[in-house]
Structure 1
Amino acid sequence: MVTASDDVVERITLAPDAGLVKSLGANHTLESAIADLVDNSIDAGAARVSIRLLTRNDRLSQVEVLDNGKGMDAATINSAMTIGRRRDYAQGDLGHFGMGLKAASFGHCDALTVWSMSDSATPVGRRIRRVDFSKDFTCEVLSSDAATKHTSHREAILGSRKGTSIVWTVIRNAYRGRNQVEARSWLAARNEALRSHLGVTFHRLLAANRLEIDVLVDELGEALTEPGVPILPIDPFGYAVSGHPEYPKDLTAKAGETRVKLTCHIWPAKVDVTGFRIGNKRGEQFQGFYIYRNDRLLQVGGWCDTATPTRARQLARVVLDDTKAIGPFLTMNPEKSGLKFEPAFHDAINRAEAADGTTFSTFLQDAEAVYTEANKRKRRRKPAIKPGKGMAPPVRKRIGSELAFLGGDALDLKWRRMPVGDFLEVDHSSKTLWLNNRYRELFAPDRGSLNDAPVLKALLYLLTHHVFEGQHLGARDKDEIALWKSVLGAAVVTEEQMRGGRGASI
């Protein structure tokens, strides 16, 4: 081991080889790359960010990320375009490595152009081309006239001359085939994935109205100033009621002098809502750790070898929202898409406890128990006739998540004219529950549609479905139907009278 410095004769600086540019951004998806650019906008104090996916013949041709942040002058933009140049990061900044702009961009394009304007400064522009940058780090200085033009373009979209516009051209990772249908499908999938990724990554900032993001997809040159579609927050902990009465619960993980809080959540069983499900992926795929840094989500689920992902653990999610953990416990990758759990953190999680003695293992067992008990109840339910025409698709889907369906015909719920005082009629042979059109306006004031009155129809389905499941109507079934007709007929007449005769003229 070297312990002395008397053998040093000189100190030299070893500059990075420009060839490393070729590998920049290799692990970035389109969604993570654009999120990295949004990070820079947030650090620049932007309240609005507009993302524009511009196409030629439905093929992605150009990507723009525009913000109304503080902008950059000539010296600042030169620093931003320099590879590995780390600025002085404030405590709440999202930047970390000094590589984000270049890595995010060169993972998806061959030409990166940045236009910017700060207070009381001349608009500036810089462009780096991947082929040149990978040889000698060459950067092109663009004219003030061109920068002024792009400042006006940004002002037309965001209402602010001050700010920054990042433009990707010569897109590398996009659909290039000749099939127009495939091209549109690829673009739609990328748009959906981007919206989901931004919605969950920045959900805290979006929900608190500290940030607005919109995404526009249109042909290049056709949507110069059109507004994009706003990104909505996707809260991965946005359940109404916890799945377990004792959760959420805080566990403390300790290693040496460091203490980190782990907030353990258990989602309610059998939910299929945005937040549990993210994008078009099932909630089962999002169990695990959610790690935040300055309200920006760095990791969306995953147990990172601290536990095994299983179907029974799909309700379990853990929040780690402590910047002290990044460094000694967690290592952040340049793409900010997941973290490496250091051995010390694995050990700390295994020893973590809540004030009441709950351990990490106990938490997992509690989540499994909630899931298992809910599925036991589901298995005890008898299969039912599936709802058919007249039932709104979301209600039909939810019934299917609660009940297994019998094969064969479906139960339709339809309206038709009947005598005054009648409300429903069971047509067993055609598997149809008829409702009296005279009273439709009471439950569908806008005169309704095929799938109208979803609450009423759901209640009637739950009440009556069993009588349609036999081969014929028995004496008990007929007695039940007579009871329903009598009570509901009186109820609907009373409802009509209480509303001043509304519906009688239908």
Structure 2
Amino acid sequence: MALDDRIPPNPRMLIQALRSIGYSLEQAVADIIDNSISAKSRNVLVRLVRTDEAIEQVLIVDDGTGMSERRLHEAMRFGADTEKSLESLSKFGMGLKLASLSQATELTVGTRNAGIASGRRWTVESISDDWRCDMVPRPEITRLLKGSWGPVDVSRNGTVVAWSGLDRIRVGKGGLDATIKRLMDRLRLHLGLHFHRFLEDKRIRIWLDSQQAGAEPNDVRFEVEALNPFSYDRSGDPDYPRAFPLDLGDLGELIMEAHVWPANSTERTYKLDSAANRQGFYFYRNDRLIQAGGWNDIRDTEPHSSLARVVIDLPPKLDSHFSLDVQKSSIKAPPVFTTALRNAVDGRKTKFSEYLKTAQSIYRKQERANPDNFPLVPVDGLPAYLRDNLRETLAPNERRVRQVRFEWADIEGGDFFEIDREGLVIRLNRTYRNRVLGNRRPSAADAPLLKVLLFLLLQEDLDSGRVSRKQREWLDTCNRALAHAMKVLRTDDS
């Protein structure tokens, strides 16, 4: 008997694979807001609904045009045609479903168009049951749409996207309140950055809040601020920004706008989550920021290029050549892009490579001028010959360094060491000195091996402006381990 060449997919295995594509919470929320913008929404509310122990739901509410019954049916279909116009921020017809199910086991959409309410629901179980998308009874959808949504009015038109069964959102060690704060911070950063053009000209306003399940909603919410990664007051170099045309052959011409941030900027729009990681190309599609930094394999990311950021607005006609990932976080450029970069010159015949050197030069000048950037070298508390060797090893060719001192001192609580970051001092507990020295005579330069090892262990912590909870936990662990080793040493000596 001949085998049937048509092999239907296993829906349970397929949906589990699709759920593992790799959305973060903020990427998933942004994908839903893309649909809100396409629906001409003026306001969007992102709400975390919590119990005492967990986050129960994520709700994303907009006051856009809403959807008719037929349009909702199509929008809930995987690969929906309604999501794929050139002008739309949506692209694959998968965003609503994949983004939602990447975070939750249940997706409910309630929508109202011209006063008429409709609702559909996907669950992991219904998909496994031969791709069954359930209709939601109108009374249930009406109750959902009647929620208290603050500045978002869905009485006539609008949409509520509800995620339930949030099996990908974990409560961290700091507890639920700390987890919610961390998620809110991530949402503010990601949404403020990727939708900054829409937020700046008030095409849309995005609100965030957190509410207790089953309680009357409070009025505590905050508005997401635009984070324009090019919003400096003055350029780091008076000759920038400059336009670099890219000749892409048959694909046409693409314009890059190269910027140099001013050195030593404290602006949040420069620092973001990591200034060094935000250097590189900023690809926009229909004003939506897709890729926020990175050099697309043409060069490595390294601190000296931190001031270099480049704007590239991609016309939708190049979608098939500059492909974006499903999460809309990065661009895969065609080979001709790399070739065009090597040949790119601006109107003054300046090469793109010279622009990068300019940005690096400005960064290096501020680096040399800032004493906090001088390397750390252990000095006091070590033999003279060792100090000289360490300086040559740790800071070759550096004229200036920051000197780290060692001291034996009384330390409460039994800790083996403590750090004075302001004074650049590592203090060792005097209680353990005789055991460390094996009852040899103490001196100002004793225990050199231990001191050098401690310096290497603690160097990054000495240089930290702020100490995170994770750093404190690590230092406590090191102290406990060394104190325990001292107890073992005492036992062996006895």
- Aligned partner (choices 211, 217, 227) of residue 234 of structure 1: 227
Residues 171 and 179, structure 2, Cα contact 8 Å, conserved in 1: no
- Aligned partner (choices 133, 136, 140) of residue 142 of structure 1: 136
Residues 329 and 344, structure 1, Cα contact 8 Å, conserved in 2: no
| 1:218 CA displacement | 2.5
- Aligned partner (choices 250, 267, 273) of residue 273 of structure 1: 267
Show the counterpart of 2:237: 244
Report the RMSD for the aligned CA atoms in angstroms.
2.8
User: Could you tell me which amino acid in structure 2 is paired with residue 350 of structure 1?
Assistant: R
Write the distance in 2 (CA, Å) between the matches of 1:230 and 1:271.
25
After superposition, give the CA deviation of every residue in 1:402-424 in whole Å (9 maximum; x if it has no partner).
x989999999xxxxxxxxxxxxx
User: Could you tell me which amino acid in structure 1 is paired with residue 14 of structure 2?
Assistant: L
Residues 256 and 311, structure 2, Cα contact 8 Å, conserved in 1: yes
Show the counterpart of 1:262: 256
Show the counterpart of 2:176: 183
SS in 2 for 1:184: helix
Residues 207 and 222, structure 2, Cα contact 8 Å, conserved in 1: yes
Show the counterpart of 1:158: 152
Show the counterpart of 2:197: 204
2:111 corresponds to 1:116: yes
Change in CA separation of 1:380 and 1:79 when aligned onto 2, cut-off 3 Å: closer
Show the counterpart of 1:215: 208
Show the counterpart of 1:290: 282
Change in CA separation of 1:351 and 1:325 when aligned onto 2, cut-off 3 Å: farther
Residues 192 and 226, structure 2, Cα contact 8 Å, conserved in 1: yes
| 1:87 CA displacement | 1.7
- Aligned partner (choices 313, 325, 329) of residue 333 of structure 1: 325
After superposition, give the CA deviation of every residue in 1:192-213 in whole Å (9 maximum; x if it has no partner).
1111100001111101011100
Write the distance in 2 (CA, Å) between the matches of 1:59 and 1:88.
33
Show the counterpart of 1:47: 42
Write the distance in 2 (CA, Å) between the matches of 1:307 and 1:293.
23
Write the distance in 1 (CA, Å) between the matches of 2:218 and 2:67.
23
After superposition, give the CA deviation of every residue in 1:299-349 in whole Å (9 maximum; x if it has no partner).
110111112111110000000013157435411111101111221211122
2:67 corresponds to 1:75: no
Write the distance in 2 (CA, Å) between the matches of 1:410 and 1:352.
47
User: Could you tell me which amino acid in structure 2 is paired with residue 332 of structure 1?
Assistant: L
Write the distance in 2 (CA, Å) between the matches of 1:14 and 1:272.
58
Structure 1, unmatched stretches of 5+, are 1-11, 384-402, 412-506
Show the counterpart of 2:93: 98
| 1:284 CA displacement | 1.5
| 1:38 CA displacement | 0.4
Change in CA separation of 1:33 and 1:141 when aligned onto 2, cut-off 3 Å: same
Residues 46 and 68, structure 1, Cα contact 8 Å, conserved in 2: yes
After superposition, give the CA deviation of every residue in 1:148-193 in whole Å (9 maximum; x if it has no partner).
222222666523311000000110112257x6x3333222211111
User: Could you tell me which amino acid in structure 2 is paired with residue 248 of structure 1?
Assistant: P
Residues 83 and 93, structure 2, Cα contact 8 Å, conserved in 1: no
Change in CA separation of 1:224 and 1:288 when aligned onto 2, cut-off 3 Å: same
Show the counterpart of 2:165: 170
Residues 261 and 322, structure 1, Cα contact 8 Å, conserved in 2: no
After superposition, give the CA deviation of every residue in 1:212-253 in whole Å (9 maximum; x if it has no partner).
000102322235363521001111001000001110001011
Write the distance in 2 (CA, Å) between the matches of 1:182 and 1:381.
36
The number of residue pairs the alignment matches comes to 376
TM-score, with structure 2 as normaliser: 0.71
Residues 285 and 316, structure 2, Cα contact 8 Å, conserved in 1: no
Write the distance in 2 (CA, Å) between the matches of 1:237 and 1:96.
26
TM-score, with structure 1 as normaliser: 0.69
User: Could you tell me which amino acid in structure 2 is paired with residue 202 of structure 1?
Assistant: F
SS in 2 for 1:276: helix
Show the counterpart of 1:355: 347
- Aligned partner (choices 6, 14, 25) of residue 20 of structure 1: 14
After superposition, give the CA deviation of every residue in 1:233-287 in whole Å (9 maximum; x if it has no partner).
1110010000011100010111213100010000001112111011xx2312210
Residues 105 and 164, structure 2, Cα contact 8 Å, conserved in 1: yes
Write the distance in 1 (CA, Å) between the matches of 2:94 and 2:343.
36
Q: Which protein shows a greater Rg?
A: 1
Where in structure 2 are the equivalents of 1:349-428 lying within 5 Å? 349-379=341-371
Structure 2, unmatched stretches of 5+, are 376-400, 406-419, 424-494
Show the counterpart of 1:126: 120
Residues 286 and 316, structure 2, Cα contact 8 Å, conserved in 1: no
User: Could you tell me which amino acid in structure 1 is paired with residue 226 of structure 2?
Assistant: P
Change in CA separation of 1:157 and 1:126 when aligned onto 2, cut-off 3 Å: farther
User: Could you tell me which amino acid in structure 2 is paired with residue 267 of structure 1?
Assistant: W
Residues 326 and 332, structure 1, Cα contact 8 Å, conserved in 2: no
The percent of aligned pairs where both chains have the same amino acid is 29
Show the counterpart of 2:335: 343
Change in CA separation of 1:365 and 1:67 when aligned onto 2, cut-off 3 Å: same
Residues 50 and 228, structure 1, Cα contact 8 Å, conserved in 2: no
Show the counterpart of 2:52: 57
